[in-house]
Amino acid sequence: MQSVAGARKGSPVRNEFKVGDRVRLAASSRCPFTNPGEAGTVVWVSRESAWGGRVLFYHVRLDGRDRGQLSLLYPEELEPAADGDRAAPPG
């Protein structure tokens, strides 16, 4: 997994995503080995507590990457994917 990078405590969160949501890396993303604008799918949501609480970070499978490779991204590093941003076909 790639390291979580670039978070600022107290940053405003624009969106909250759930597993299966399509997302895109915002221009403010600082996750290493990624590029702003890349799209992917949320596969896990890590929260402050198992019973809810604020989102700490998202596990995202970026399109075109190895299926087992996930990026950990803070909420402020993601935005909803545009309607045209669909998952890459398998293979």
Instruction: Look at residue 3 and tell me whether its pLDDT is greater than 50.
Output: no
Considering the domain delimited by 22-80, tell me its CATH architecture.
Roll (2.30)
Cβ of 23: how many Cβ atoms within 10 Å? 22
Domain ranges of the chain: 22-80
The percentage of the chain sitting over the pLDDT mark of 90, rounded to a whole number, equals 51
Contacts of 4 (CB under 8 A, 6+ apart): 31, 57, 72, 73, 74
pLDDT 10s digits, 22-60 = 999 999 888 888 999 999 999 999 999 877 789 999 999
Instruction: Look at residue 62 and tell me whether its pLDDT is greater than 60.
Output: yes
**pTM score, two decimals?**
0.74
pLDDT (mean) for 7-19: 65
